[in-house]
Every structure is written in structure tokens, then in C-alpha cells.
Amino acid sequence: MKKQRHDGLKPLSHHHHHALVQAMELKQANAEKTDKSLGQFIRNLIDYWEKDAVYHFRDEEEVLLPLYEVFAEKPDTELMNEMLYQHIQIRSLVYAVRENREDPYEKMNRLGELLENNVRFEEREIFPMIEEAVPDKYLYQVYGKFHRDSYSGF
């Protein structure tokens, strides 16, 4: 039976849902069945990035990982490094889409794949690792420190 996400981390999982929606849209960029223009795809990406994703990454990097580091007996630096590297890759592709119009659809498709992979990795590897290491009391306390997303306010 799948363990339910700790209440303290639910805002981040909720943000992940919106990231998956964005990833799906990015992977559909330049598909024959879409009625969105390149400009619409880019505007949607920038809107999502500036209102939510940049803050979500900060929450994970500046709140969640340091909290894990405090309580983990043997921190899994390999998993933390992988997460941070994925964040770097995503940030660089967002920058590339915004600043360089060369192969924009290819970049958006790749960004969609990276975003989806990052969400799956965090939900399956990072969050369970954190839930195991950090006492409940501190996971509940961290809940109020996370960004409220622009989609639902969660």
C-alpha cells in the first residue's frame, strides 16, 4: 500500500501537480493538433516560471534540503546533488527558451521532459527520504514556509 504524503509536504506535492500540467503542455509544443502559437507557449511558460516554479525551487533548496541535512544521520548527498542538478538543467532551459529563439520547440519539449522527470524523482526518491529522516514536528512546522501557488493558493 502506498504511503500518503506527509501533510507538511503536501503544498510541494500540490505544486508538483501544476508542474506536471506545465510539462505536458511543453511536450505538446509544436504538435499538429495544438492551436497555441509559439508566443502563447512561451508566455505560459514564463508566467508559470515567474509566479510559481522559481519559488518552488527555492522552497526545496533553501527550506527542505537544509531541514533534511539537520536530521539525516547519513545524508544521501548523491540524491540531493541529482535534485539540484535537475534544477540547474530546468533553469538553464527556461533561460534558453526566453533568450534564444533557436529551436524553441525542441527546447520546450526537452524542458517538459526534464520537468516531468524532476517531479517524479522528487516524489519517489527525495520526499520519502525526507519524511523518513525529519521528525513529524518539524515537517508540520515547515508547512507554513512554502510558497502559495498561483493556481489554487495551496
How high is the pLDDT of residue 43?
Answer: 93
3-state secondary structure string across the chain = CCCCCCHHHHHHHHHHHHHHHHHHHHHCCCCCCCCCCHHHHHHHHHHHHHHHHHHHHHHHHHHHHHHHHHHCCCCCHHHHHHHHHHHHHHHHHHHHHHHCCCCHHHHHHHHHHHHHHHHHHHHHHHHHHHHHHCCHHHHHHHHHHCCCCCCCCC
How high is the pLDDT of residue 84?
Answer: 98
pLDDT in tens, the chain (154 residues): 457 899 999 999 999 999 999 999 999 888 766 778 888 999 999 999 999 999 999 999 999 999 999 999 999 999 999 999 999 999 999 999 988 778 889 999 999 999 999 999 999 999 999 999 999 999 999 988 888 887 766 6
